[in-house]
Amino acid sequence: MKCGAILAQTLLVLLLASSACEPVRSTPLQPVGAAGLLPTRRDPDAGRIGIRADFGLEAYRAIEVAPFAVAGPPAWGFEDRRIVSAVRAFFQSDLARRLRASGLFEHVLDPQTSPPVGSAGVLRLEGTVSQLELDYLAPSRHWRWVGPGSVQVETRFVDAASGRVVLVTANRRTARYVTSAARDVPGTEARLEEVFDYLADDLVRFLVRVGAPARPLRPSRGPKGDGSEASAI
C-alpha cells in the first residue's frame, strides 16, 4: 500500500474518532466587550469574562433574553442563511429554557412576546454570534464537504433600569469534525446545535455559580468563651 493511501486511511480514522467527542472549547478570538468592559478574565465555564466589581445577580428578579445577532460573511448563500437562522433559533430557545430551569430568576422574558414588567430589577441579556464557521467544499482530488467548524458567542448583560453594562462574556467551541461526499444539511445543523447547546449550558452554569449565596460565617476556633468574632473561611 502506498504511503499516501496509508496517510489518508489514518486521517479518516482520526476524523471518525473525533466525532465521538464533545465540541472542543478553545480561546475566544479578539472579543470586543462592551462599554469599555472587556472579557479578559478566564472562567472555567464561560470562557472569558469581564465583570463590574459591584455586580450582584441577586439584585435581579427577571432576565430579558434579546435576539442574538449573527456576524456572517456576505458570501453566505440562501442555504447557508437558512442553516444559520435555524441554529440561531435553537440557541435562543435552548438558552431561555436553561435559564428558566436554573431558578435564578422569577421571570425569563422574551422582548417580543412577554408582557412588560418594568425595568427595575431586570437584567437584559444581549449577544452576538461573532464567528460561525459553516461546512465548506474542500478542494482536493476528491472534493468533499468538511465541517462545520467553530462558533464564538459574545454576550453583554445590561442593567435595564440604567442601561449600564455590568457583565460581558466570550466563549468559543468547535464542532465535531466530519467529512461527507455531498452536503449533509441536517447533519450540519445537528452538529451546530450541539455546539450551541454546550455554549448555552456553559453560560447558565457560570450564572448559577455567580448567583450562589455567599458561604455563611463560621465561628472561629478560639477557646470557648474568649469573645472571638465569627470569621469567614
> Domains of the chain: which residue ranges?
23-211
Predicted local distance difference test score (pLDDT) of residue 112: 77
Evaluate whether 145 touches 180 at the Cβ level (below 8 Å): yes
Cα distance between residue 30 and residue 39, in whole Å: 10
Cα distance between residue 81 and residue 187, in whole Å: 16
Q: Is the pLDDT of residue 113 over 90?
A: no
Output the nine-digit C-alpha cell for 8.
489518508
177 φ, ψ to 5°? -85, 120
Average pLDDT value for residue range 101-128: 90
Predicted local distance difference test score (pLDDT) of residue 81: 95
Q: Over the stretch 161-177, which tens digit does the pLDDT of each residue have?
A: 999 999 999 999 999 87
Per the listing, cell 464564538 goes with: 152
- pTM, 2 dp: 0.81
Q: Is the pLDDT of residue 200 over 90?
A: yes
Average pLDDT value for residue range 18-36: 85
Cα distance between residue 123 and residue 207, in whole Å: 12
pLDDT band for 215, please (50, 70, 90 cuts). low
Task: State how beta strands 69-70 and 122-132 pair.
Answer: parallel
Average pLDDT value for residue range 69-89: 93
CATH code given to domain 23-211: 3.40.50
Predicted local distance difference test score (pLDDT) of residue 213: 74
Output the nine-digit C-alpha cell for 113.
412576546
pLDDT band for 136, please (50, 70, 90 cuts). confident
Cα distance between residue 185 and residue 129, in whole Å: 20
Cα distance between residue 80 and residue 95, in whole Å: 22
Predicted local distance difference test score (pLDDT) of residue 14: 41
Beta bridge partners of 124: 64, 158
* Percent of the chain residues topping a pLDDT of 90: 66
Identify the sign of the CA torsion 179, 182, 183, 185.
negative
